[in-house]
Amino acid sequence: MNKENTLVTTEAVKNKLAAIYRDEGRRIYATLIRLLGDFELAEEAFHDAFSIAMTKWQVEGIPNKPANWLVSTGRFKAIDQLRRQYRHREIVAQLASELPDQDLANDELLLADEQLIADDQLRLIFTCCHPALDTKVQVALTLREVCGLTTEQIASAFITSVSTMAQRIVRGKQKIRTAHIPFQLPPQAQLEERIDSVLSVIYLVYNEGYSSSAGDSVTRTELTTEAIRLARQLQSFLADTEITGLLALMLLNESRRNARINKQGDIILLAEQDCSLWNQTLIQEGIALVKSSTAGGEYGFYTLQAAIAAEHAQACNANDTNWQQILTWYSLLLQIAPSPVIELNRAVAVAMHHGPEAALLLVEQLLQQKVMQKYHLCFATYAELLGQVGRKDEARTALKHALTLTKQAPEQRILKSKLAALSAS
């Protein structure tokens, strides 16, 4: 085996393995799942491989292809374990028949191809987001198996008990096993439909991280970071305008992270943010991606939202914002994805472009819908518009009702602040 050096120091091996774990760990794990056909067996093999490497690499040197070495070592270790378990004799026979009976020290016989390892993570994403699985299970599995978050981290992010989240993950793995969901990319005929499912899960993960549905924190960085990472991976594998659009949308939203929250953890609304705190690198990347995804003249759900976000990112205040263009984008978005939430967002743009009276009519119509009667932002928007036209008593009533509908502490604080300001005026 060709190695970088021999008799490597413990510290050097630790640093190398830490870098591989951080940068390539989830890809190695995904390949082991494909090779072994079992989540638990693959996870144990994954950790065994790193443990063995810690000892062997100090003596034998670091391999030229460390990820390949770890995949092969993990697989051999798993088969060794299975040989000792009588109930797995058929699995052993199948796996062993595919393995050359050679020493692991020979790099030429290592089983993992770099491109195959990269593709395996994409296969794992599609497996975890299979339509046969419930959406909540898809999200939990994706975060656990693809992103590597612990069950405790996922439960905390979604304000759910650890036991409930663990049950979702176990249920998902059982479903994959019993339904014989294949660990493979979907056929070309199903790819578009399956991409939608994957993008939907990534979008849900990002939204929960960008604005938590409950709890004391507005944002959860571990979720937004993983969602962006997954979108980047998808984009590197598949040429699809909606993948590009979703990545652009998340980058543009993420660019405002440092300006969204004050030192007390309270929300700072877009109109009041210090735009000098916006991340211009993310903004420029996001705008470039929007231009790329809209170049063909076909606009999808994520692409249109990214286009709207790009308009906001290019204006430091409301007066400089191209509200007419934003209204155009919202009209297109409503055509392809009718939604009362999108209608509410469009109503805000109407207020900015045509005045609060025109928007009030739209919001009052929305409040006739049952689903919007439980949506705190609809009442908060209604209160804002009522206050702008001088109907302050009604605005206070709307704000009080909005307060009863939100479980997020920072949102409750901002609503209380607005209520106090109305009362003072």
Domain ranges of the chain: 10-112, 339-425
**Homologous superfamily assigned to 339-425:** Tetratricopeptide repeat domain (1.25.40.10)
Q: What is the mean pLDDT of the chain?
A: 86
Q: Using CA atoms in the order 171, 173, 179, 183, what is the torsion angle rounded to 10 degrees? A: 150
Question: What are 96-120's pLDDT values in tens digits?
Answer: 555 544 344 334 334 445 556 667 8
Band (pLDDT 50/70/90 cuts) for residue 233 is: confident
Comparing 38-42, 213-217, 246-250, the range with the smallest average pLDDT is 213-217
**How far is residue 334's CA from residue 328's CA, in Å, rounded to a whole number?**
10
Question: What are 11-55's pLDDT values in tens digits?
Answer: 999 999 999 998 889 889 999 999 998 899 999 999 999 999 999
Q: Are 267 and 256 in contact (CB under 8 A)?
A: no
* pLDDT reported for residue 190: 81
**Does 1 score more than 50 pLDDT?**
no
Question: What are 150-184's pLDDT values in tens digits?
Answer: 898 888 777 688 999 999 999 999 999 999 998 88
Q: Which residues of 89-118 are buried (b: 16+ CB within 10 A; e: fewer)?
A: eebbeebeeeeeeeebeeeeebebeeebbb
Question: What are 340-367's pLDDT values in tens digits?
Answer: 999 999 999 999 999 999 999 999 999 9
